[in-house]
């Protein structure tokens, strides 16, 4: 449906609304990370504006030439379609960005049937931005469709949720993911099934891992380093800090990404501690995350997260990278709990 893997029910619902001319002025796509929220929302934006009545045009290789609106939307350059997407280094969508969106919303479309605004990760709207967005949701100009994505509707203002039609996306069955990887990426059945299992229902993750196996390896390496640092002493931590600082001169971006990855992963471990496994971003890492969640207390994990985020900020502010990284790695919590070795005496008896 809509050139999207899975999510048949959601696709059918959107298609029916369009066919009946009953398009809502706002949709909220919810579901776990990388499950296909943005992909389905973008396909719907194309369906809303496609020149082909049976649209949207398919975009895959060997699917023929897509119409002009579909082509422009897919390339992110349609004049009446805009996405608000937060860069990784910022944590909130600002009031200013929503204010600017509102100024644009009020103008007539240049060529589209529906002016469309995607607000990705709407849970990251600042409070003032969310309140401002509410004004547009309350009185939307005709022909404007707002499409929000979020992991969970509960993370948004209830007043925002109540003005959107929610489209809930569930993790896909592993068999559907494996079939797609075999068809589209020509993976061997065994490799496709392996990745599909690791993906835990997140098709986007599986596709990325299939397309870039090296990226997955780099990520695994970086995460192994973090686990070692959390368990290790001063020496291991300083060595890792030095290795990163040496990388900084030539590959600052790699170091930034490593720190962001680490923050994201620690945030995942906190989610596991709270029993929110469904919302974990690195779902294939659940075993390693569960171990960290067991070995470190919640305050230690929160401290680790704060430390890593501060390091990202310090580096952005042009702090001395060697110093910033030394400080960050040494400030990681040291409360790693080692379970007693089998057969050893319990501390109570030894005392
Ligand atoms: Zn089209």
Q: For residues 164 and 274, state if they share a domain.
A: no
Confidence of residue 344 (pLDDT cuts 50, 70, 90): low
pLDDT of residue 194: 87
Angstrom distance (rounded) from CA 59 to CA 65: 8
**φ, ψ at 125 (rounded to 5°):** -70, 135
CATH of the domain at 267: 1.20.272
- Among residues 169, 214, 168, 209, which one has the least CA distance to residue 192? 209
Q: Cα(11) to centroid of ligand 1, in Å?
A: 16
Q: pLDDT, tens digit, for every residue of 291-343?
A: 999 999 999 999 999 999 899 888 888 778 899 999 999 999 988 887 766 65
pLDDT of residue 349: 44
- Among residues 34, 85, 87, which one has the least CA distance to residue 256? 87
Q: Cα(74) to centroid of ligand 1, in Å?
A: 10
> The domain containing residue 67 runs over which residues?
8-168
Angstrom distance (rounded) from CA 267 to CA 123: 15
Q: Is residue 345 part of a domain?
A: no
Q: Cα(145) to centroid of ligand 1, in Å?
A: 18
Q: pLDDT, tens digit, for every residue of 152-170?
A: 999 999 999 999 999 999 9
Q: pLDDT, tens digit, for every residue of 123-150?
A: 999 999 999 999 999 988 889 999 999 9
Is the pLDDT at 183 greater than 70, yes or no? yes
Q: For residues 117 and 232, state if they share a domain.
A: no
CATH of the domain at 98: 3.40.50.300
Look at 215 and 69; give whichever has higher pLDDT.
69
Dig out the tokens for 25 from the structure. 């002025």
**Number of domains into which the chain is organized:** 3
Q: pLDDT, tens digit, for every residue of 242-297?
A: 999 999 888 888 898 899 899 989 999 999 999 998 888 888 899 999 999 999 99
Q: For residues 108 and 156, state if they share a domain.
A: yes
Q: Cα(177) to centroid of ligand 1, in Å?
A: 26
Is the pLDDT at 350 greater than 50, yes or no? no
Question: CA 279: distance to chain centroid?
Answer: 10
Q: Cα(152) to centroid of ligand 1, in Å?
A: 31
Q: Cα(296) to centroid of ligand 1, in Å?
A: 51
Q: For residues 161 and 35, state if they share a domain.
A: yes
Q: pLDDT, tens digit, for every residue of 202-247?
A: 999 899 889 888 878 888 999 999 999 999 999 999 999 999 999 9
Q: Cα(43) to centroid of ligand 1, in Å?
A: 10
Confidence of residue 351 (pLDDT cuts 50, 70, 90): very low
Global pTM exceeds 0.85: no
Q: For residues 20 and 86, state if they share a domain.
A: yes
Average predicted confidence (pLDDT) for the chain:
89
**φ, ψ at 150 (rounded to 5°):** -160, 155
pLDDT of residue 156: 94
- Among residues 159, 275, 261, 174, which one has the least CA distance to residue 220? 261
Question: CA 92: distance to chain centroid?
Answer: 14
Q: pLDDT, tens digit, for every residue of 30-50?
A: 998 889 999 999 999 999 999
Q: For residues 107 and 188, state if they share a domain.
A: no
């Amino acid at each position: 449906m809509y050139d999207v893997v899975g999510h048949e029910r959601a696709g059918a619902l959107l298609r029916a609304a369009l066919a009946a001319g009953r398009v809502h002025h706002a949709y909220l796509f919810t579901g776990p990370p990388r499950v296909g929220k943005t992909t389905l929302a973008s396909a719907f934006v194309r369906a809303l504006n496609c020149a082909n009545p049976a649209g949207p045009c398919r975009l895959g290789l060997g699917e023929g030439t897509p119409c002009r609106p579909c082509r422009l939307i897919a390339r992110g350059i349609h004049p009446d379609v805009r996405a608000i997407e937060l860069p990784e280094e910022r944590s909130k969508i600002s009031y200013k960005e929503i204010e600017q969106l509102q100024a644009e919303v009020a103008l007539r479309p240049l060529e589209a049937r529906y002016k469309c605004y995607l607000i990705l990760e709407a849970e990251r709207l600042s409070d003032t931005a969310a309140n401002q967005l509410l004004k547009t949701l309350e009185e939307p100009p005709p022909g404007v469709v707002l499409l929000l994505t979020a992991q969970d509707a509960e993370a948004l203002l209830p007043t925002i949720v109540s003005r959107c039609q929610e489209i809930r996306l569930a993790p896909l069955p592993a068999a559907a993911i494996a079939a797609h990887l075999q068809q589209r990426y020509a993976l061997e059945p065994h490799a496709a099934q392996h990745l599909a299992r690791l993906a835990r229902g997140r098709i986007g993750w599986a596709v990325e891992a299939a397309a870039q196996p090296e990226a997955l390896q780099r990520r695994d390496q970086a995460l192994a380093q973090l686990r070692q640092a959390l368990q290790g002493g001063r020496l291991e931590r300083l060595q890792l800090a030095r290795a990163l600082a040496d990388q900084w001169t030539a590959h600052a971006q790699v170091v930034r990404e490593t720190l962001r990855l680490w923050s994201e992963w620690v945030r995942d471990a906190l989610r596991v501690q709270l029993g929110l496994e469904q919302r974990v971003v690195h779902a294939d890492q659940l075993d390693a995350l569960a171990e960290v969640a067991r070995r470190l207390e919640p305050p230690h994990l929160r401290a680790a997260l704060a430390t890593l985020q501060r390091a990202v900020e310090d580096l952005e502010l042009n702090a001395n990278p060697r110093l910033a990284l030394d400080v960050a790695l040494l400030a990681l919590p040291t409360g790693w709990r080692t379970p007693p070795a089998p057969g050893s005496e319990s501390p109570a008896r030894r005392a």
